[in-house]
């Protein structure tokens, strides 16, 4: 039995898009449940590369056949989707679903900056756009198109942002590698805050030039030495 046709049957019956990992789980479960079925047992440990190759081949076959539907990989998950040309009849069948309002131009511009330069801080986004982005960022976060992905290793440890799987689904992308080229956007210079430097474990972090001044001027009776002194004022009082 051809692997492509098995995948076709599984994806047609699935209630949601399936990732390669989920498809491998389906094959593993089928092998355990199908007693005496040599084909199912033989595909128990099917490789990811084999599944990907079969899925891409199946997608090409459907595309060449010019059917009303096609096999698509969106956000790393495979699913059958109808061709846009048939939307009027499908809307008549299932009704017109209320969709969120379209993104504004400022939101799209901000989203593009995040997509191409992630992880990126809010201050860096504002440097590229030249305007504040508080309201736009709130919209993108509420829509689930971007999310907080960590903190930058600079003074103040600002939050960094990146795109989500919802972003890939919204634009019908298989992954970030599917983004169109935007070399000009990537080349825009952004002034980075100073990198954090820690004098000793557990101490507050300060910019490099401040740390140098502290090290040079630190001594008894010098207020700056408190930054490098492991004993705080509270500790001294309690002794």
C-beta contacts of 128-135 below 8 A and 24+ residues apart: 128/185, 128/188, 128/190, 131/106, 133/106
Q: How far apart are CA 227 and CA 48, in angstroms?
A: 54
The SS3 of residue 70 is strand
Cβ proximity of 23 and 7 under 8 Å: yes
From the list 60, 66, 70, the residue with the least C-alpha distance to 12 is 70
Cβ proximity of 102 and 44 under 8 Å: no
Q: How far apart are CA 106 and CA 120, in angstroms?
A: 17
Asked if residue 10 has pLDDT above 90, the reply is: yes
Calculate the alpha carbon distances from 209 to 21, 194, 213 in Å: 49, 10, 6
115-124 pLDDT, tens digit each: 999 999 999 9
- Provide the token pair at 232: 């705080």
Average pLDDT of the chain? 79
**Average pLDDT score over residue span 15-44:** 87
Per-residue DSSP letter, 1: -
47-91 pLDDT, tens digit each: 999 999 999 999 999 999 989 999 999 888 999 999 989 988 988
First-to-final CA distance of the chain = 80
> Would you identify the CATH topology of the domain 3-89?
Arc Repressor Mutant, subunit A (1.10.10)
Per-residue pLDDT, 27: 92
**Average pLDDT score over residue span 138-160:** 93
Q: At what angle do helices 122-129 and 134-142 cross, to 10 degrees?
A: 120
Where does the chain hold its CATH 1.10.10.10 domain(s)?
A: 3-89, 105-187
Calculate the alpha carbon distances from 49 to 8, 54, 79, 164, 184 in Å: 17, 9, 18, 25, 35
The matching CATH number, chosen from 1.20.1440.230, 1.25.40.10, 3.40.50.2300, 1.10.10.10, for 105-187 is 1.10.10.10
Per-residue pLDDT, 176: 86
Q: Look up the pTM and report it.
A: 0.54
**Average pLDDT score over residue span 140-169:** 92
Per-residue pLDDT, 216: 42
Q: How far apart are CA 119 and CA 101, in angstroms?
A: 26
- The single residue listed with the structure tokens 């128990």 is 44
């Amino acid at each position: 039995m051809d692997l492509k046709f098995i995948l076709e049957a599984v994806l047609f019956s699935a209630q949601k898009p399936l990732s390669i990992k989920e498809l491998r789980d389906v094959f593993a479960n089928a092998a355990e449940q199908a007693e005496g079925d040599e084909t199912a047992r033989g595909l128990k440990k099917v490789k990811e590369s084999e599944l990907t190759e079969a899925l891409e081949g199946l997608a090409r076959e459907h595309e060449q056949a010019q059917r009303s539907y096609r096999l698509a990989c969106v956000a790393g998950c495979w699913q059958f989707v109808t061709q846009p040309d048939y939307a009027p009849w499908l809307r008549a069948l299932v009704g017109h679903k209320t969709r969120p309002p379209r993104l504004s131009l400022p939101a799209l511009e901000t989203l593009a900056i995040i997509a191409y330069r992630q992880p990126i801080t809010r201050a860096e986004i504002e440097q590229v756009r030249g305007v504040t982005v508080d309201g736009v960022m709130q919209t993108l976060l509420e829509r689930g198109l971007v999310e907080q992905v960590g903190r930058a290793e600079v003074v103040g440890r600002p939050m960094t942002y990146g795109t989500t799987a919802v972003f890939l689904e919204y634009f019908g992308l298989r992954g970030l590698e599917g983004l169109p080229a935007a070399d000009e956007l990537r080349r825009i210079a952004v002034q980075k805050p100073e990198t954090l430097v820690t004098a000793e474990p557990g101490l507050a972090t300060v910019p490099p030039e401040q740390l140098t001044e502290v090290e040079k001027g630190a001594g008894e009776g010098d207020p700056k030495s408190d930054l490098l002194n492991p004993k705080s004022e509270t500790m001294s009082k309690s002794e």
